[in-house]
Amino acid sequence: MSASRTNLPESGRIRRILVIRWSALGDVAIASAACEDLARAFPRAELHLNTMPPWDTLFEHDPRFAKVISIPMREPGHRLSGIRRWLSEVRAGRYDLVVDLQSNDRSRLLLTALWLSGTRIPHRIGLRPGWPYTIAPRPPLPLHAADRQRLALAAAGIDSFAAAPVFAIGEDRPRAMQALLAGHGLAPGRFALFLPGSQAAGWLKRWGERRFAALARAVVAAGLVERVALAGAGDDADTCAEIARQAGPVVANLCGRTRVLDLVPLAGAARFVVSNDTGPAHVASAASRPMVVLCGPTDPRRVKPMGASVTTLQAPLHCASCYRKTCTHHSCMMLISPESVLERLHEITADRSGALD
């Protein structure tokens, strides 16, 4: 790592850049902000992104990237072939700069193997100091991935401007979302968006159907919104269906009707968003709408989506932020009451005209 601050944008020698961020959805969304800062800092350079399926679909039509390298290196039976393909693709790229936003043991080993094979990439930015990085932030490192990214870029003389994830949304998807909302009687600015699911393996991060249903009824009764929209993927179908059943006509269940990037125009049309700690919340934060994220087994300081409009709620328990995969009581989520979420929503909408007319 360089002992003093480097200023790569002033060097004029960066022609091709590779950004590495493989997973997961929330981290890839955060990385999109760093990609925006790189695109601004090197407007004449060719920017490539190395990610994994299915997150490559987030950048299918993104004009910032001349190439998206998507290699499934974690699938059983494809790991060795994936590694060989990765080495071949990156070697052929002839990069002047690699920005490793993954910075785990695997990415470090791959960059080392690339070096040992004779491929010399002059500048290598990582999120932690040490080989194989030539530029990295100095410890102690902050908890949040976005802050670590900013420090790593700053060590290379790259300024950070993007305060939230940045995605390229084609014109067809906002139009499709407008039609979807209209078809369910959801007026822009007069509905709330709830993201009540998570990956099946992360069920401890779910607040629960009964509480989301109670909150849906409460925000409508309080006059904050007219209705509530639910969004989610396949793992969330049963959860959304049960919330809709319990809450009744105040809820419109859009689960399974949207793509991941549709969350940006969907959240942009909502008055506010309420979500579990889940990857889609990070995507939705690109819309910069007021958002409350409910945290239990995960640390809000680590998992809070980017943006000044995002706030978190967590019960004050000694076992909160335990990151366990199993629990006998699930108190960290159950002790977050619908009333406390409603109170927070009143606070974050107070300077945005309060209740609806």
Residue-wise pLDDT for 253-290, tens only, equals: 999 999 999 999 999 999 999 999 999 999 999 999 99
Predicted confidence at residue 119, as pLDDT, reads 97
The Cα 78–Cα 50 span in angstroms is: 17
Q: What number is the average pLDDT over the span 338-353? A: 91
Q: Write down the mean pLDDT value for the chain.
A: 95
What's the alpha-carbon Rg for the chain, to the nearest Å? 21
Instruction: State how far the alpha carbon of 288 is from the alpha carbons of 159, 163, 197, 214, 281, in Å.
Output: 21, 9, 20, 25, 11
DSSP 229-290: EE---GGGHHHHHHHHHHHGGGEEE-TTSS-GGGHHHHHHHSSEEEEES-HHHHHHGGG---
Is residue 356's pLDDT more than 60? yes
Q: What number is the average pLDDT over the span 18-32? A: 97
Predicted confidence at residue 357, as pLDDT, reads 61
Is residue 351's pLDDT more than 90? no
Predicted confidence at residue 228, as pLDDT, reads 98
172-349 and 8-155 share a CATH fold: yes
The Cα 205–Cα 198 span in angstroms is: 7
Predicted confidence at residue 77, as pLDDT, reads 72
Is residue 328's pLDDT more than 90? no
Q: What is the pLDDT of residues 152-211, one digit of tens each?
A: 999 999 999 999 999 999 899 999 999 999 999 999 999 999 999 998 788 899 999 999
Tell me the pLDDT band of 3, cut-offs 50, 70 and 90: very low
The CATH fold assigned to 172-349 is Rossmann fold (3.40.50)
Q: What is the pLDDT of residues 28-68, one digit of tens each?
A: 999 999 999 999 999 999 999 999 999 999 999 899 999 99
DSSP H or E stretch at residue 47: strand 46-51
Tell me the pLDDT band of 74, cut-offs 50, 70 and 90: confident
DSSP 61-123: T-TT-SEEEE--TTSTT-HHHHHHHHHHHHHHH--SEEEESS-SHHHHHHHHHHHHTT---SE
Tell me the pLDDT band of 352, cut-offs 50, 70 and 90: low
Q: What is the pLDDT of residues 110-129, one digit of tens each?
A: 999 999 999 999 999 999 99
Tell me the one-letter amino acid at 277.
Answer: D
Tell me the one-letter amino acid at 146.
Answer: A
Predicted confidence at residue 139, as pLDDT, reads 93
Class (C level, CATH) for 8-155: alpha beta
Predicted confidence at residue 79, as pLDDT, reads 83
Predicted confidence at residue 2, as pLDDT, reads 42
Q: Where are the domains of the chain?
A: 8-155, 172-349
Predicted confidence at residue 78, as pLDDT, reads 73
